[in-house]
Amino acid sequence: MPSRRRFVQGLAAGGAVAGLGLWPQTGWAQQSRKMPVLRGTELDLSVGETLVNYTGQTRPAVTINGTLPGPLLRWKEGTTVTLRVRNDLPRGSIHGPDTSIHWHGLVLPANMDGVPGMSFDGIRPDESYLYRFDVKQAGTYWYHSHSGFQEQGGMYGPLVIDPAGPDPIASDRDFVVMLSDWTDMDPAKLFARLKKMASHDNVYQRTVGDFMRDAERKGLPATVADRKMWGQMRMTPTDLSDVNGQTYTYLLNGTTSLGNWTGVFVPGDKVRLRLINGSAMTYFDVRIPGLKLTVVAADGQPVHPVTVDELRIGAAETYDVIVQPGGQDAYTVFAQDSARTGYVSGTLAVREGLRAPIPPLDPRPIMSMADMGHGDMHAGHDMDAMASSQPAAAAAPHAGHAMPGTPPPSSPSADPHAGHAMATGAGAGAMVGMDHGAGGMQTHPASETNNPLVDMQTMSPTPKLDDPGIGLRDNGRRVLTYADLRSTFADPDGREPGRTVELHLTGHMEKFAWSFDGLKFAQAEPLRMTYGERLRIVLVNDTMMSHPIHLHGMWSDVEDADGNFQVRKHTVDMPPGSKRSYRVRADALGRWAYHCHLFFHMESGMFREVRVEE
């Protein structure tokens, strides 16, 4: 039987109550809401506030043209679009006063990118902004606010650009599946709670029973050593997401599971699902029991088809998949959060009103030291011994866990504000794969040393491109990895990067502080690029959280473990303990945002400005 909370989520099938503040009718739960579609090259969009009810409580959401998510915008490659966006937020709204729209993943002029404070001032109350730009690409993208907490408040929507010629991806049906997370809390108050009590949602911590089971399976000494390591770090291996199903209600196309969004098919159809993760803080693991998923595009760009049972989609990523239902009348589209605290589901069916069985949540994942880039630390390593090998770190509260101390003598001394310059010239490419910067333990920028906002440093990060992720390994299903993704085209630039910049993703779990190189946005100088140059960015995740990193205005051409071009993306997932590299062609003049797309990580400081200058 569903809990009462799950049941009332289902009653609010459509969510929006058109400003009436009335309890939605139970009958709504039997109908899937249809997403409005706006086509053409001239569109009017109004940013306002609409009352919604997903949990039995009526709350104001930020909406576009009155819907959550906003309308599906459908354009054509090679056209010029004009969008008049008006700020109709009510005076005194918790979501105001100014607003903006960022076109996520689109290549366009800086003043059209929609990030206030960069090349755009935002849209003031009762005023409009004219977006006009050429559509230079095709594929599946999305759009969202870049003002205040509006994205978490509901201001996002899907964007599909049809190719100028015939679509190379053939299908009989085409559905958007937009996943998101909703909270009844004022997003600003949720952020304040994270700063005061970051572990609020981490309620599934290990118990005495877990200790006994681990001791029986691994032996008492190994189990005691494991608990000792985690205790000295003041971290928990169950802390996989800052905000989860304890706070969030998960949505699919703006409705809850009991709302049952339904995509109708005819048996034998090739169905294209455009998966978009428009959530603020959630990684989703998506599968359709009984059907294979053939991945044909990532972040809007075509990839060589790869067939899997399941995929993990990070915040802000998109995947296009082809499925071919047949043999049964209904299939469940199932998306569980990566921490296994909740899910949202929809249905593919031969007609409305049908359902298929919903699978149970997978077992709760537990992180290991190896997951955080510390190798196999269960194999006889002692935390105190490690501490003694790092005298500068010994005074730190997390001594021994490769906590920020004096870096090794080989640590580069580049300007920490400009990134961690590791190599220059044509020979830099040889340093990039798993051995990039190798020669012992991972080095770290000086700005991380004795930094109160940095609580750990990874010791031996690897690309992890062939790793499906924590909670997805050996689950009996074929799970997509980054190593599976191969663009259908060669390196669009072709040049070797002229220089390499290394940046570390840093944070402090208890203080909920997030940054690059231990420097929050307000402390850091812009990362400067010269117009036309080709450079390599190497990211090292020094935290125990995953981070989807998004560079505005330019593509991120991800490299494989050997430093070769692999796949073009606009958002690059960085699992804990990972070290990944990608090439960037600085072909867009102006000021651009560069940040983690976990909303509250960005808000707390994991944000940099990139300047592309003549």
What does the domain layout of the chain look like in residue ranges? Answer: 37-166, 249-366, 446-612
pLDDT exceeds cutoff 90 at 58: yes
Q: Which two tokens stand for residue 569?
A: 């993306």
Whether the Cβ atoms of residue 160 and residue 72 lie closer than 8 Å to each other: yes
> Which fold, 249-366?
Immunoglobulin-like (2.60.40)
249-366 and 446-612 have identical folds: yes
- Beta bridge mates, 578: 462
CB burial readout 6-18, b (16+ within 10 A) else e: bebbbbbbbbbbe
More confident residue, 242 or 358: 358
Q: Which two tokens stand for residue 436?
A: 């990039």
More confident residue, 234 or 492: 492
Give residue 220's pLDDT: 75
- Beta bridge mates, 479: 310
Length of the chain equals: 614
Q: Which two tokens stand for residue 138?
A: 């095709």
Q: Angle of helix 220-233 relative to helix 208-218, nearest 10 degrees?
A: 130
> Which fold, 37-166?
Immunoglobulin-like (2.60.40)
Neighbours of 522 (CB within 10 A): 8
For residue 515, give every residue at least 6 positions away whose Cβ sits within 8 Å of its Cβ, in sequence order, or none: 453, 454, 506, 507, 521, 524, 605, 606
- pTM, full prediction: 0.84
Give residue 439's pLDDT: 40
Neighbours of 409 (CB within 10 A): 6
- Helix, strand or coil for residue 491? coil
Neighbours of 500 (CB within 10 A): 24
Strands in 54-193 per DSSP E: 58-64, 72-76, 80-87, 102-104, 128-134, 139-144, 156-162, 173-182
pLDDT (tens digit per residue) in 575-596:
999 999 999 999 999 999 999 9
pLDDT exceeds cutoff 90 at 179: yes
pLDDT (tens digit per residue) in 252-293:
999 999 999 999 999 999 999 999 999 999 999 999 999 999
Give residue 196's pLDDT: 85
For residues 553-579, average pLDDT: 96
Give residue 7's pLDDT: 37
How far apart CA 137 and CA 492 sit, in angstroms, is 14
Give residue 228's pLDDT: 59
Q: How confident is the model at residue 369 (pLDDT cuts 50, 70, 90)?
A: low
Number of helices and strands (H, E) in the chain?
6, 32
pLDDT (tens digit per residue) in 379-415:
333 333 333 233 233 333 333 334 444 333 333 333 3
How far apart CA 353 and CA 301 sit, in angstroms, is 34
Whether the Cβ atoms of residue 257 and residue 9 lie closer than 8 Å to each other: yes
Q: Could you tell me what percent of the chain has a pLDDT over 70?
A: 77
For residues 355-365, average pLDDT: 94
Give residue 184's pLDDT: 96
Q: What is the mean pLDDT of the chain?
A: 84
How far apart, in Å, are the Cα atoms of 72 and each of 157, 288, 446, 456? 6, 23, 46, 42
Strands in 309-386 per DSSP E: 310-313, 318-323, 330-337, 343-349
Neighbours of 344 (CB within 10 A): 28
Of 8-17, 80-89, 392-401, 456-465, which one has max mean pLDDT?
Answer: 80-89
pLDDT exceeds cutoff 60 at 296: yes
User: Which DSSP symbol is given to 437?
Assistant: T
pLDDT exceeds cutoff 50 at 18: no
In words, the CATH class of domain 446-612 is mainly beta
pLDDT exceeds cutoff 60 at 250: yes
Of 25-34, 353-362, 392-401, which one has max mean pLDDT?
Answer: 353-362
pLDDT (tens digit per residue) in 508-517:
988 989 999 9
- Beta bridge mates, 565: 559
Whether the Cβ atoms of residue 295 and residue 480 lie closer than 8 Å to each other: yes
